[in-house]
Protein backbone atom coordinates (compact mmCIF):
# COMPACT_ATOMS: atom_id res chain seq x y z
CA UNK A 1 0.00 0.00 0.00
CA UNK A 2 1.58 3.34 -1.03
CA UNK A 3 0.88 6.71 0.58
CA UNK A 4 -2.75 7.71 0.05
CA UNK A 5 -4.59 11.02 0.03
CA UNK A 6 -7.31 11.68 2.61
CA UNK A 7 -10.10 11.98 0.05
CA UNK A 8 -11.62 8.54 0.45
CA UNK A 9 -10.68 8.39 4.14
CA UNK A 10 -12.70 11.54 4.87
CA UNK A 11 -15.67 10.42 2.81
CA UNK A 12 -15.87 7.17 4.79
CA UNK A 13 -15.35 9.00 8.07
CA UNK A 14 -18.04 11.55 7.26
CA UNK A 15 -20.57 8.86 6.41
CA UNK A 16 -19.56 6.73 9.38
CA UNK A 17 -19.64 9.60 11.90
CA UNK A 18 -16.10 8.98 13.10
CA UNK A 19 -12.83 10.92 12.71
CA UNK A 20 -9.33 10.00 11.56
CA UNK A 21 -6.50 10.92 13.92
CA UNK A 22 -3.83 13.27 12.59
CA UNK A 23 -0.75 12.80 14.73
CA UNK A 24 2.30 15.07 14.67
CA UNK A 25 5.58 13.25 14.08
CA UNK A 26 9.08 14.41 14.97
CA UNK A 27 11.27 11.31 15.30
CA UNK A 28 11.44 7.55 14.84
CA UNK A 29 10.02 6.56 18.23
CA UNK A 30 6.96 8.76 17.76
CA UNK A 31 6.31 7.38 14.27
CA UNK A 32 6.77 3.77 15.39
CA UNK A 33 4.53 4.21 18.44
CA UNK A 34 1.74 5.67 16.29
CA UNK A 35 1.84 3.12 13.50
CA UNK A 36 2.13 0.16 15.86
CA UNK A 37 -1.10 1.33 17.47
CA UNK A 38 -2.68 1.89 14.05
CA UNK A 39 -1.73 -1.62 12.99
CA UNK A 40 -3.13 -3.26 16.11
CA UNK A 41 -6.37 -1.33 15.73
CA UNK A 42 -6.45 -1.59 11.91
CA UNK A 43 -6.98 2.18 11.68
CA UNK A 44 -6.31 4.67 8.88
CA UNK A 45 -3.66 7.22 9.88
CA UNK A 46 -2.59 10.74 9.05
CA UNK A 47 1.02 11.49 9.98
CA UNK A 48 1.64 15.21 9.96
CA UNK A 49 4.85 17.14 9.83
CA UNK A 50 5.13 20.76 10.97
CA UNK A 51 7.71 23.27 9.75
CA UNK A 52 9.34 22.86 13.16
CA UNK A 53 9.48 19.08 12.73
CA UNK A 54 11.11 19.50 9.30
CA UNK A 55 13.68 21.77 10.85
CA UNK A 56 14.33 19.41 13.78
CA UNK A 57 14.60 16.10 11.92
CA UNK A 58 15.39 17.27 8.36
CA UNK A 59 12.71 16.60 5.72
CA UNK A 60 14.36 13.53 4.21
CA UNK A 61 14.55 11.64 7.53
CA UNK A 62 10.85 12.06 8.27
CA UNK A 63 9.83 11.15 4.74
CA UNK A 64 11.95 7.98 4.75
CA UNK A 65 10.69 7.00 8.21
CA UNK A 66 7.10 7.35 7.03
CA UNK A 67 7.91 5.26 3.93
CA UNK A 68 9.35 2.63 6.28
CA UNK A 69 6.18 2.76 8.39
CA UNK A 70 4.05 2.02 5.32
CA UNK A 71 6.27 -0.86 4.26
CA UNK A 72 6.22 -2.22 7.80
CA UNK A 73 2.47 -1.96 8.47
CA UNK A 74 0.71 -1.99 5.08
CA UNK A 75 -1.70 0.61 6.49
CA UNK A 76 -3.25 3.43 4.42
CA UNK A 77 -1.22 6.43 5.60
CA UNK A 78 -1.48 10.09 4.60
CA UNK A 79 1.70 12.17 4.78
CA UNK A 80 0.49 15.69 5.56
CA UNK A 81 2.14 19.08 6.04
CA UNK A 82 0.76 20.74 9.18
CA UNK A 83 0.35 24.56 9.18
CA UNK A 84 2.22 25.44 6.00
CA UNK A 85 2.57 29.19 6.29
CA UNK A 86 3.28 30.06 2.65
CA UNK A 87 3.15 28.72 -0.92
CA UNK A 88 6.85 27.81 -0.91
CA UNK A 89 6.71 25.29 1.95
CA UNK A 90 3.53 23.73 0.51
CA UNK A 91 5.18 23.42 -2.90
CA UNK A 92 8.31 21.88 -1.34
CA UNK A 93 6.19 19.21 0.38
CA UNK A 94 4.12 18.47 -2.75
CA UNK A 95 7.38 18.09 -4.68
CA UNK A 96 8.70 15.90 -1.86
CA UNK A 97 5.90 13.32 -2.20
CA UNK A 98 3.46 14.45 0.52
CA UNK A 99 -0.12 13.45 -0.32
CA UNK A 100 -1.72 16.31 1.60
CA UNK A 101 -0.70 19.83 2.61
CA UNK A 102 -2.19 22.46 4.86
CA UNK A 103 -1.92 26.08 3.83
CA UNK A 104 -2.62 28.08 6.99
CA UNK A 105 -3.54 31.55 5.79
CA UNK A 106 -5.63 32.21 8.87
CA UNK A 107 -3.46 35.08 10.04
CA UNK A 108 -4.13 36.99 6.81
CA UNK A 109 -7.24 39.00 5.94
CA UNK A 110 -10.04 36.97 4.24
CA UNK A 111 -9.22 37.92 0.63
CA UNK A 112 -5.51 37.24 1.10
CA UNK A 113 -6.26 33.89 2.75
CA UNK A 114 -8.39 33.01 -0.31
CA UNK A 115 -5.67 34.08 -2.74
CA UNK A 116 -2.85 32.14 -1.08
CA UNK A 117 -5.06 29.05 -0.58
CA UNK A 118 -6.12 29.11 -4.24
CA UNK A 119 -2.51 29.25 -5.35
CA UNK A 120 -1.67 26.16 -3.27
CA UNK A 121 -4.83 24.30 -4.40
CA UNK A 122 -3.94 24.90 -8.04
CA UNK A 123 -0.41 23.60 -7.65
CA UNK A 124 -1.36 20.63 -5.44
CA UNK A 125 -4.41 19.43 -7.37
CA UNK A 126 -2.48 19.32 -10.63
CA UNK A 127 -0.19 16.83 -8.89
CA UNK A 128 -2.86 14.73 -7.17
CA UNK A 129 -2.31 16.23 -3.71
CA UNK A 130 -5.16 17.38 -1.45
CA UNK A 131 -5.24 20.66 0.50
CA UNK A 132 -6.48 21.70 3.94
CA UNK A 133 -6.95 25.39 4.74
CA UNK A 134 -7.88 27.33 7.88
CA UNK A 135 -10.46 30.03 8.46
CA UNK A 136 -10.78 31.77 11.80
CA UNK A 137 -7.91 31.98 14.22
CA UNK A 138 -7.11 29.56 17.05
CA UNK A 139 -5.61 30.81 20.29
CA UNK A 140 -2.46 29.18 21.62
CA UNK A 141 1.09 28.49 20.54
CA UNK A 142 2.04 27.52 16.99
CA UNK A 143 5.67 27.42 15.90
CA UNK A 144 6.54 29.62 18.88
CA UNK A 145 4.05 32.31 17.84
CA UNK A 146 1.51 32.99 20.56
CA UNK A 147 -2.00 34.03 19.54
CA UNK A 148 -3.72 35.50 22.57
CA UNK A 149 -7.37 34.74 23.37
CA UNK A 150 -8.25 38.30 22.42
CA UNK A 151 -6.73 37.89 18.95
CA UNK A 152 -8.46 34.56 18.34
CA UNK A 153 -11.57 34.65 16.15
CA UNK A 154 -14.15 31.95 15.56
CA UNK A 155 -14.98 30.81 12.02
CA UNK A 156 -17.85 32.68 10.39
CA UNK A 157 -20.22 30.14 8.72
CA UNK A 158 -21.11 32.38 5.73
CA UNK A 159 -17.46 33.10 5.11
CA UNK A 160 -16.68 29.38 5.34
CA UNK A 161 -19.08 28.62 2.47
CA UNK A 162 -17.65 31.42 0.32
CA UNK A 163 -14.10 30.34 1.18
CA UNK A 164 -14.66 26.70 0.18
CA UNK A 165 -16.44 27.64 -3.05
CA UNK A 166 -13.86 30.16 -4.16
CA UNK A 167 -10.71 28.17 -3.25
CA UNK A 168 -11.72 24.61 -4.19
CA UNK A 169 -10.02 23.41 -1.01
CA UNK A 170 -10.55 19.77 0.10
CA UNK A 171 -11.02 20.28 3.85
CA UNK A 172 -11.24 23.20 6.25
CA UNK A 173 -9.92 23.74 9.77
CA UNK A 174 -12.44 25.68 11.83
CA UNK A 175 -12.03 27.73 15.00
CA UNK A 176 -14.75 26.93 17.55
CA UNK A 177 -12.86 27.40 20.82
CA UNK A 178 -10.02 24.86 20.73
CA UNK A 179 -6.41 26.05 20.89
CA UNK A 180 -2.94 24.63 20.50
CA UNK A 181 -0.85 23.51 23.45
CA UNK A 182 -1.51 22.31 26.99
CA UNK A 183 -3.42 25.33 28.34
CA UNK A 184 -6.68 25.46 26.43
CA UNK A 185 -9.17 26.67 29.01
CA UNK A 186 -8.90 28.79 32.13
CA UNK A 187 -12.33 27.83 33.45
CA UNK A 188 -14.73 25.13 32.27
CA UNK A 189 -13.98 23.75 28.78
CA UNK A 190 -16.45 25.09 26.22
CA UNK A 191 -16.72 24.73 22.45
CA UNK A 192 -19.12 26.56 20.14
CA UNK A 193 -21.11 23.56 18.85
CA UNK A 194 -23.89 25.79 17.54
CA UNK A 195 -21.39 27.39 15.20
CA UNK A 196 -20.05 23.98 14.16
CA UNK A 197 -23.58 22.77 13.44
CA UNK A 198 -24.25 25.81 11.29
CA UNK A 199 -21.07 25.28 9.28
CA UNK A 200 -21.85 21.57 8.82
CA UNK A 201 -25.38 22.32 7.64
CA UNK A 202 -24.19 24.95 5.19
CA UNK A 203 -21.42 22.70 3.82
CA UNK A 204 -23.09 19.27 3.73
CA UNK A 205 -20.70 16.39 3.09
CA UNK A 206 -17.64 18.66 3.34
CA UNK A 207 -14.88 17.43 5.71
CA UNK A 208 -13.98 19.75 8.59
CA UNK A 209 -10.82 19.62 10.70
CA UNK A 210 -10.34 20.27 14.40
CA UNK A 211 -6.95 21.58 15.48
CA UNK A 212 -5.86 21.96 19.07
CA UNK A 213 -7.78 18.82 19.98
CA UNK A 214 -5.62 17.23 22.64
CA UNK A 215 -7.37 16.26 25.86
CA UNK A 216 -4.38 16.85 28.17
CA UNK A 217 -5.26 13.80 30.28
CA UNK A 218 -4.72 14.65 33.98
CA UNK A 219 -2.85 11.41 34.76
CA UNK A 220 -0.09 12.39 32.30
CA UNK A 221 0.18 15.93 33.60
CA UNK A 222 0.33 14.56 37.15
CA UNK A 223 2.98 12.06 36.15
CA UNK A 224 5.13 14.77 34.52
CA UNK A 225 4.82 16.90 37.62
CA UNK A 226 5.48 13.99 40.00
CA UNK A 227 8.77 13.12 38.31
CA UNK A 228 10.36 16.56 38.26
CA UNK A 229 8.28 18.45 35.68
CA UNK A 230 6.37 21.68 36.17
CA UNK A 231 3.26 22.10 34.04
CA UNK A 232 0.65 23.40 36.44
CA UNK A 233 -2.90 24.17 35.37
CA UNK A 234 -2.80 22.33 32.04
CA UNK A 235 -6.23 21.59 30.55
CA UNK A 236 -7.52 20.21 27.23
CA UNK A 237 -10.64 19.30 25.27
CA UNK A 238 -12.79 16.67 27.05
CA UNK A 239 -13.12 13.40 25.12
CA UNK A 240 -16.92 13.63 25.02
CA UNK A 241 -16.63 16.90 23.07
CA UNK A 242 -14.30 15.32 20.54
CA UNK A 243 -16.72 12.41 20.01
CA UNK A 244 -19.53 14.88 19.51
CA UNK A 245 -17.50 16.85 16.93
CA UNK A 246 -16.64 13.60 15.08
CA UNK A 247 -20.36 13.06 14.53
CA UNK A 248 -20.79 16.59 13.17
CA UNK A 249 -18.67 16.61 10.01
CA UNK A 250 -15.27 16.77 11.71
CA UNK A 251 -13.28 14.09 9.87
CA UNK A 252 -9.74 14.93 11.03
CA UNK A 253 -8.76 15.51 14.65
CA UNK A 254 -5.24 16.88 15.29
CA UNK A 255 -3.25 15.57 18.23
CA UNK A 256 0.24 16.64 19.20
CA UNK A 257 0.25 17.82 22.82
CA UNK A 258 -1.09 14.48 24.13
CA UNK A 259 1.77 12.66 22.41
CA UNK A 260 4.28 15.07 23.89
CA UNK A 261 2.83 14.58 27.36
CA UNK A 262 2.78 10.77 27.04
CA UNK A 263 6.37 10.66 25.90
CA UNK A 264 7.65 13.15 28.46
CA UNK A 265 5.78 11.57 31.37
CA UNK A 266 7.11 8.11 30.57
CA UNK A 267 10.70 9.24 29.98
CA UNK A 268 10.68 11.24 33.22
CA UNK A 269 9.29 8.27 35.13
CA UNK A 270 11.77 5.83 33.61
CA UNK A 271 14.78 8.00 34.38
CA UNK A 272 13.57 8.80 37.90
CA UNK A 273 13.01 5.12 38.69
CA UNK A 274 16.21 3.92 37.02
CA UNK A 275 18.86 6.47 38.00
CA UNK A 276 21.80 4.30 36.95
CA UNK A 277 20.42 3.56 33.47
CA UNK A 278 21.98 5.51 30.60
CA UNK A 279 21.05 3.49 27.52
CA UNK A 280 18.82 5.80 25.42
CA UNK A 281 16.99 2.78 24.03
CA UNK A 282 15.59 2.13 27.48
CA UNK A 283 13.96 5.49 28.08
CA UNK A 284 13.13 6.19 24.45
CA UNK A 285 11.63 2.70 24.31
CA UNK A 286 9.44 3.60 27.29
CA UNK A 287 8.46 6.78 25.43
CA UNK A 288 7.56 4.79 22.31
CA UNK A 289 5.39 2.38 24.35
CA UNK A 290 3.59 5.34 25.92
CA UNK A 291 2.91 6.90 22.50
CA UNK A 292 1.50 3.60 21.30
CA UNK A 293 -0.86 3.27 24.27
CA UNK A 294 -2.00 6.89 23.90
CA UNK A 295 -2.75 6.46 20.19
CA UNK A 296 -4.59 3.16 20.76
CA UNK A 297 -6.74 4.89 23.34
CA UNK A 298 -7.52 7.75 20.95
CA UNK A 299 -8.35 5.43 18.04
CA UNK A 300 -10.59 3.10 20.05
CA UNK A 301 -12.18 5.30 22.67
CA UNK A 302 -12.30 8.78 21.14
CA UNK A 303 -12.03 8.84 17.33
CA UNK A 304 -13.88 5.61 16.55
CA UNK A 305 -11.67 4.83 13.52
CA UNK A 306 -10.64 1.35 14.72
CA UNK A 307 -11.21 -1.32 12.10
CA UNK A 308 -11.63 1.33 9.36
CA UNK A 309 -8.26 0.94 7.54
O1 LIG B 1 -3.60 21.15 16.10
C2 LIG B 1 -2.57 20.56 16.35
C3 LIG B 1 -1.54 20.38 15.30
O4 LIG B 1 -1.84 21.09 14.14
C5 LIG B 1 -2.28 19.92 17.67
O6 LIG B 1 -3.11 20.40 18.70
P7 LIG B 1 -2.78 20.06 20.25
O8 LIG B 1 -1.78 21.06 20.72
O9 LIG B 1 -4.09 20.20 20.99
O10 LIG B 1 -2.28 18.65 20.30
O1 LIG C 1 0.02 23.09 15.67
C2 LIG C 1 1.15 22.90 16.03
C3 LIG C 1 1.69 21.53 16.26
O4 LIG C 1 1.47 21.16 17.60
C5 LIG C 1 3.13 21.48 15.88
O6 LIG C 1 3.91 22.17 16.79
P7 LIG C 1 5.43 22.64 16.39
O8 LIG C 1 5.27 23.75 15.41
O9 LIG C 1 6.04 23.02 17.69
O10 LIG C 1 6.08 21.42 15.76
ZN1 LIG D 1 -3.44 28.14 12.35
ZN1 LIG E 1 -2.86 22.90 14.44
pLDDT > 90? residue 140? no
Which among 26, 256, 257, 261 is the best mutation to test ligand 2's pocket, defined by most ligand atoms within 8 Å of the CB?
Answer: 256
143 noted as active-site residue: no
Confidence band for 150, pLDDT divided at 50, 70 and 90 = low
Would the pLDDT of 149 be above 90?
A: no
Indicate which residue's Cα is closest to atom 6 of ligand 1.
212
Domains of the chain: residue spans and CATH: 7-303 (3.20.20.70)
Ligand nearest to the CA of 47: 1
146 pLDDT exceeds 90? Answer: no
CB 80 within 8 A of CB 51: no
CA of 43 to the centre of ligand 2 (A): 23
Ligand 1 atom closest to Cα of residue 181: 8
Close Cβ partners of 42 (under 8 Å, ≥ 6 residues apart): 75, 306, 307, 308, 309
**Predicted ipTM of the assembly:** 0.97
Per-residue pLDDT reduced to its tens digit, 222-278: 999 999 999 999 999 999 999 999 999 999 999 999 999 999 999 999 999 999 999
Looking at the CA of 22, name the nearest ligand. Answer: 1
pTM of the model: 0.96
Tell me, using a 6 A CB cutoff, whether residue 142 lines ligand 2. Answer: yes
How far does residue 91's CA lie from ligand 4's centre (Å)?
19
**Is 80 exceeded by the pLDDT of residue 131?**
yes
Measure the CA–CA gap between 44 and 12, rounded to whole angstroms: 11
Strand order from edge to edge, sheet including 179-180: 145-147, 139-142, 179-180
Please, what sign has the CA dihedral across residues 146, 151, 157, 162?
negative
Amino acid sequence: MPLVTSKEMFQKAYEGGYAVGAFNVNNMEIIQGIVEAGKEENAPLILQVSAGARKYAKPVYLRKLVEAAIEDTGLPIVLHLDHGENFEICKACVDDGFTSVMIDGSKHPFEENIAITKQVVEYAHERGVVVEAELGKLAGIEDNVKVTEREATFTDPDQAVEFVERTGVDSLAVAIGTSHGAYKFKGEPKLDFERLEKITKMLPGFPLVLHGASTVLPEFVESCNKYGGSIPGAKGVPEEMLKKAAGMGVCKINIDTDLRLAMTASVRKYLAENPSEFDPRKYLGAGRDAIKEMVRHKIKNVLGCNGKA
